[in-house]
Structure 1
Amino acid sequence: MAELLRVESLKSGYGEAVVVQGISVSLQAGQSLALLGRNGTGKTTFLNTLVGATRRHAGRIFLGSVELSTLPPHRRAEAGIGWVPQERNIFKSLTVEENLTAVARPGPWTVQRAYEMFPRLQERRANMGNQLSGGEQQMLAVARALVLNPKLLLLDEPLEGLAPIIVEELLRSIARVVREEGMSAIIVEQNPRMILPITQRAVVLDRGAVVHEGDSDALLADSSQLDRWLAVSRG
């Protein structure tokens, strides 16, 4: 597989505060990566830096042959970055369908295909964004990123605060996208046991630096490492 993403010695943060402390990571085309760590370890800041929403202090970011390091956010999206932030950022004054058609770009992920992935959205296609439940808004945020037909999908805690039945539905959809469809993705999630089974690689951050990198299956099977870095036990 060809290398899709390469991050070299990245340092970034907000203003003068440096949160990400020299991270280097790479991702092959078609691979999915679980980005793990306790709260405040730099996971969201790392994703925000990839999309151009932080101050980069040092390091370089490449998506394929394109260097993203100094590009504004809209140019990074054009280069192939699809982003689902914690805040979702859907257009609440537009309908579900307008949210999708406003950003859709040519490619395999069409609006109709997004509806097939999330039937709830098709049922509510005429509803305004602010008329959707939290889970439906999250589905819309993911669908909107998919119809951009990105090369790399970034999901920042997509399951946070959702009802268990919605978590299961959304997790199945994400698994389909990254496992069956082969979408390259970086997924931030607080619960490693949810996300490790559907990703191929895992990176654990602590204090803005990489403290573990390896196969997702191996980390899932290593309770000592999970407990050490993520305070997770088998119980």
Structure 2
Amino acid sequence: MSLRLNGITAGYGKLAIVRDLDLEVRSGTVTALLGPNGAGKTTLMLTVAGLLPALGGEIAVGGTPLPTGRPARANRAGVVLVPDNRALFTGLTVTENLAIARRRTGRPLDDIFDLMPALRPRRKVAAGALSGGEQQMLAVGRALIQGPEVLLIDEMSMGLAPVIVEDLLPAVRHIADHAGAAVVLVEQHVRLALAVADDAVVLVHGDVTLRGTAAELQRAPERLEAAYLGGETPTATV
């Protein structure tokens, strides 16, 4: 099912961080949400996941509007967030972390180990004893085992070396292609994000400064740089 945001304004209290944003992410596609620190990317992800109430606009999954500020409702509708802090149960094993997250209609544990084979030999190891890359795999696996319709991944590369991120990001492409999820990926490694994305949006100071297909943005690095610096007209397309 697709994710649609219509005129979403998001923030804290009366302070708007993201303003009047429109976005559609189709099933089976990846949209890279790019932009400098403080652009409002995490605020937007928390709002879509229901952890923050929207200050305006509408969020819909599969054409059905979602009440904002209701994380349980969003999750039941198939919206799953991988937060930037991973939020693992560090004292529980890999298998226990996955089992807790699995829904009755979710995916089997073996599916996750097939997708991320590095976790299989670590299945009895406590999450807190995993490497950073393994923890991120587990965080994504814990989201994927729920069978998400909409998967939100906030800063997969946080604290990880680029070479590890290169190994992790293909899993995002697999999730879209084989699970049919609509994926929103917040990522600071722009080149790597565009390599696995279908579409991309650049957010600066709460406004969309550039949007287009990932291929178009890859071919226009000067437009991408200008968008990051706020030199593009809001909602410009390549």
Structure 1, gaps ≥5 residues long: none
Aligned-residue offset at 1:179: 4.2
| Structure 2 CA distance for aligned equivalents of residues 138 and 93 of structure 1 | 16
Bigger mean CA offset, 141-150 vs 127-136: 127-136
Aligned-residue offset at 1:107: 5.0
1:93-146 CA-partner distances (Å, limit 9, x unpaired)? 211101111111255732101011112211111111211121111110000000
> Match of 2:20?
22
1:175-199 CA-partner distances (Å, limit 9, x unpaired)? 3223455432000111211111211
| Structure 2 CA distance for aligned equivalents of residues 228 and 12 of structure 1 | 24
Bigger mean CA offset, 145-154 vs 208-217: 208-217
> Match of 1:99?
97
1:38 to 21, 36, 50: 36
Q: Secondary structure at the match of 2:153?
A: strand
1:79 to 62, 77, 80: 77
> Match of 2:188?
190
1:136-180 CA-partner distances (Å, limit 9, x unpaired)? 111100000000000011111101211344222212222322345
Bigger mean CA offset, 145-154 vs 113-122: 113-122
Pairing of 1:19-168 with structure 2 (within 5 A): 19-70=17-68, 72-106=70-104, 109-168=107-166
> Match of 1:11?
9
| Structure 2 CA distance for aligned equivalents of residues 111 and 44 of structure 1 | 29
Bigger mean CA offset, 113-122 vs 141-150: 113-122
Structure 2, gaps ≥5 residues long: 230-238
List structure 1 runs of 4+ shifted beyond 6 angstroms: none
C-alpha contact (below 8 Å) 1:85/1:155 kept by paired residues: yes
Bigger mean CA offset, 27-36 vs 179-188: 179-188
| Structure 2 CA distance for aligned equivalents of residues 100 and 127 of structure 1 | 12
| Structure 2 CA distance for aligned equivalents of residues 210 and 8 of structure 1 | 13
C-alpha contact (below 8 Å) 2:78/2:149 kept by paired residues: yes
Report the residue type matching 2:168 in the other structure. L
Report the residue type matching 1:113 in the other structure. D
Q: Secondary structure at the match of 1:56?
A: coil
C-alpha contact (below 8 Å) 2:157/2:189 kept by paired residues: no
Report the residue type matching 2:114 in the other structure. E
C-alpha contact (below 8 Å) 1:90/1:141 kept by paired residues: yes
Q: Secondary structure at the match of 2:147?
A: coil
- TM-score by length of structure 1 reads 0.91
Report the residue type matching 1:91 in the other structure. F
| Structure 2 CA distance for aligned equivalents of residues 178 and 5 of structure 1 | 13
| Structure 2 CA distance for aligned equivalents of residues 218 and 164 of structure 1 | 23
Identity of aligned residues (%): 38
Aligned-residue offset at 1:63: 0.6
RMSD: 1.7
C-alpha contact (below 8 Å) 1:36/1:192 kept by paired residues: yes
| Structure 1 CA distance for aligned equivalents of residues 9 and 163 of structure 2 | 38
Aligned-residue offset at 1:68: 1.5
- TM-score by length of structure 2 reads 0.90
Relative distance call for 1:216 and 1:107 in structure 2 (3 A) is farther
Relative distance call for 1:180 and 1:55 in structure 2 (3 A) is closer
Q: Secondary structure at the match of 1:148?
A: coil
| Structure 1 CA distance for aligned equivalents of residues 69 and 35 of structure 2 | 28
> Match of 1:200?
198
